[in-house]
Structure formats: C-alpha cells, structure tokens
Amino acid sequence: MTRAPVDDATPLAGEVAQRLRFDKAVLDNGLAVIGEHNAGAASVAAGFFVHTGARDETPEVAGVSHFLEHMVFKGNERYTAEDINRTFDELGAQYNAFTSEERTVYYGAVLPERLPQLIDLLAELMRPALRQEDFDVEKKVILEEIAMYEDRPHFHVFDISAPLFWSGHPLGNSVLGTKDSIGALTREQMLEYFRRRYSPQNLVLAVSGRYDWDAVLEQAERIAGAWPTFEAPRERPEAETAAGRDGVVDPKLNRVHVAYYAPGIAMTDPRRYAAAVLGNVLGDSSGSRLYWELVDKGLADNASLGHEANEDQGAFVGYVSVAPERAEDVIARYQEVLARAQAEPPTPEEWRRAQRKLATGLTLRAETPLGRLTSLGATYQSLGVYQSVAEVVDRVMNAQLETGLELLAARPFDASFVFTLGPGSHEAPR
C-alpha cells in the first residue's frame, strides 16, 4: 500500500487568522483590556486574569489564592452568592474559575448579546465582600477538597513531590495549601492578600469571539476605571531543582504512582516550542517512545512525559502508574528511554509526527471562544504580547529538530527527580 505524502501547510489556520483582529487598551489605573475578535464566531467569552497564584504565597497563607477564588463567588454588597449563580444561569453562561501556580482566572461564555451583562457580573466578582460568615463556611469546603485530592493518588503524588523538586522555589507551592495552613488561615490574612494582589495593574480583562470593541472598552472604563491601583510585583528567585529519588509508602494503595521531573525551558525562551515537541516525542500518552516501551507492552497502566513552561522556569514532567511488583523495573525502563534519547535522538519522522499532534491539539482547543480565552489571556499576561493560534501553530511546526538535539545535549534527564507514592512492596526510599 502506498501512502500519499502529508501536506503540512495550514491553509485553514491562515483563513481563520484573516478573520481575527487583536484589540488592546490599558486604562489609566493599569488594567489591561484585550480582545481577539473573530467575525465568524457565534459566541463570546470573557474573563479576568489575576496575576497571582500559589507561587505568590508565603507558607503562612499557603492555599489562600485558591480559597479566595472560592470566596469571590460568595458575593459583595450588591450581590449575594445566590444572586451571582442565578444571574449566570439567566445569562445562559458557561462559567467557572481556576487557580494555578501563576494565575487565578474567572471566566464565562455567552451569546454575543449577553456580553455586557457577563462583563458586569465578572467585574462584581473582582470586588468581593469576604464576609466572615462566608469565610467560615467555605473553609470547611476547602478542607474537604484537600482531603478529596489526598484520596486521588495521581494528583496527590505531584502535590507532595513538587516542593521537593523545586527545592523551596515558590513554583513548588501547593495550589490547595495544606490542612494546617488552611485551618490556621484567617479572614484578615485573606483580606490583606486580596488588597496586595488584586490590583488593576495585576489584572487583564480578556475577551474572545464576536464583540463590539468600542462597547467593551467603554464598559471596562465605566465599571473598573476607578478601581484603586498599586504595585503588585512578583518575586522571581532563581530555581535550584533537586535530582535523585524520594518517595512515600502508603499501604492503602494498590498501585505505585510515580512523578518524574527534569529541568526545562521558561516561557520567555523561544526554545520552549522545541521542548514541547521533544516531550511529545518521548512521552505523549499514545504513540510515544514511553508508550510503546511501557504501556503497549502491558508493563504500566500509563506512562507519559510533557514539557511545562512557567514564566521564568520550566520542567519536563512525567507520570507513571504501575503495579507494585513491576514498579522498579518500570521506573528503570522509563529512565532508560529518556537516557537513550541522547544516543538515539528523535528521527525527522518522529519529530514531524509530534509537531502535527501538538498543532492539532492547539487548533482544536481554540475552535471556540471559550477554548481560546485561557491561552489568549495567559500569554498576554505573562509575556505582554499577542499570539494568534496560527502563530503558535507555525512556531510549533517550525521548531527545529536541531534545537531539540541541543536540548538533549544539555542532558536535562541526567538531573531528573523521581518520586514514588504507593505500597511498600517495591524499593521505595522511605
């Protein structure tokens, strides 16, 4: 059977790019308002991106960013929690919020005619009351959430290993915090954190889809232009990552869960596109070297590796789930696959295949305004630039194999950190 050659041209991406327009303005108080207008969209999404997350917390208030994310939905002097939820529902909105190491995002998607009401409501979230009675109730919810994730070992293994890999760097801070930190947290501490981090200078209002830019900008000025502003800098200490092996024995588990880390590339480094392709070649959840070596052979439940680029530091992050009796063999094979990549580097065919996978994923996520919003806002907030999907796809497709070989030559996997969580029938460190 003969196969037709695959054409890597992206005419559809080019056609979409022609329909797009980037809008930007900065209010006098520092609030950035950005938009990606898509004339072909049938909906619109909007969100406030707050440049604060777990990495901006001290140990005394660990988890406060995520706790605060919950609290803003409790309302303010104008809206009760019931009012907020009912109004979102009346708008027919898809809405939610999330907190990461580097940002907190509040967002929603509606039909274009409902955008003004959506922006009004999202702006109300940015002015929460933070009432003591709401704080006391929600603290119990957060503690239950922490307990829930502790019972999900595929999440928990990263929560307890990240601080070790990042060796005290704030990128290792837990988004949820701990039972002790949340239990001791006071409303006054949360209020102080809010007043210190939720400055207009630290916020981006992003809109994606079909909208009237002049109307969006006028509304932003009207509802947020008088918000008081202040400096909210982010500390950026140098990261010294750990290497070696560590772990925790948990006899209740029937699988060994393995978190894998190796030094990577920051968002500000143009080589991050090559790092993403390299991670896909080695550890995509299907069709990668780790998949064929461990999953396809039935040795592990799953085995993956990808590259995560933070603002000032990145990492290759992987995961393995395996039966206890096979754990040590699988961990050795996992590391061998990565070590062998230096002697047997990716072929042009592997590289091109990984590029296409990444390009497809990027394009599919951006097909709706809501799917596009997070990337739009986060990229602008972190880098101060606009990148269309077509541009990102182009950079992925033009990431050079030679750059990937240079990354391998730096031998990042020699400085790997492996952490195991599971029963003690394997050789766990402790």
- The Cα 198–Cα 195 span in angstroms is 6
- The residue among 167, 196, 224 that closes a domain is 224
Give me the pLDDT at residue 16, please.
54
Classify residue 178: in a domain, yes or no. Answer: yes
- Do 217 and 340 belong to one domain? no
Q: Tell me how long the chain is.
A: 430
- Do 105 and 36 belong to one domain? yes
Give me the pLDDT at residue 64, please.
98
Domain hosting 173: range is 20-224
Classify residue 47: in a domain, yes or no. Answer: yes
- Do 207 and 77 belong to one domain? yes
Fill in the DSSP letter of residue 119.
Answer: H
Classify residue 14: in a domain, yes or no. Answer: no
- Do 184 and 257 belong to one domain? no
- Do 248 and 219 belong to one domain? no
Calculate the alpha carbon distances from 206 to 84, 114, 243, 414 in Å. Answer: 20, 16, 39, 40
pTM listed for this prediction: 0.93
- Contacts (Cβ under 8 Å, ≥6 apart) of 419: 157, 160, 161, 164, 165, 245, 246, 247, 258, 259, 260, 261
Classify residue 8: in a domain, yes or no. Answer: no
Give me the pLDDT at residue 426, please.
55
> Could you tell me if 314 and 265 are in contact, meaning their C-beta atoms sit under 8 angstroms apart?
yes
Classify residue 374: in a domain, yes or no. Answer: yes
- The residue among 167, 191, 224 that closes a domain is 224
- Do 57 and 143 belong to one domain? yes
Give me the pLDDT at residue 430, please.
45
> Structurally, how many domains does the chain consist of?
2
Classify residue 10: in a domain, yes or no. Answer: no
Give me the pLDDT at residue 19, please.
82
Classify residue 88: in a domain, yes or no. Answer: yes
Q: Where are the alpha helices (DSSP H) in 288-347?
A: 289-290, 327-343
Give me the pLDDT at residue 4, please.
37
- List the pLDDT tens digit at each of the 430 positions of the chain: 333 344 454 444 555 556 899 999 999 999 999 999 999 999 999 999 999 999 999 999 999 999 999 999 999 999 999 999 999 999 999 999 999 999 999 999 999 999 999 999 999 999 999 999 999 999 999 999 999 999 999 999 999 999 999 999 999 999 999 999 999 999 999 999 999 999 999 999 999 999 999 999 999 999 999 999 999 999 999 989 999 999 999 999 999 999 999 999 999 999 999 999 999 999 999 899 999 999 999 999 999 999 999 999 999 999 999 999 999 999 999 999 999 998 999 999 999 999 999 999 999 999 999 999 999 999 999 999 999 999 999 999 999 999 999 999 999 999 999 999 999 745 544 4
Classify residue 27: in a domain, yes or no. Answer: yes
**CATH classification at residue 353:** 3.30.830.10
- Contacts (Cβ under 8 Å, ≥6 apart) of 308: 264, 314, 315, 316, 317
- Do 102 and 38 belong to one domain? yes
Give me the pLDDT at residue 424, please.
76
- Do 166 and 304 belong to one domain? no
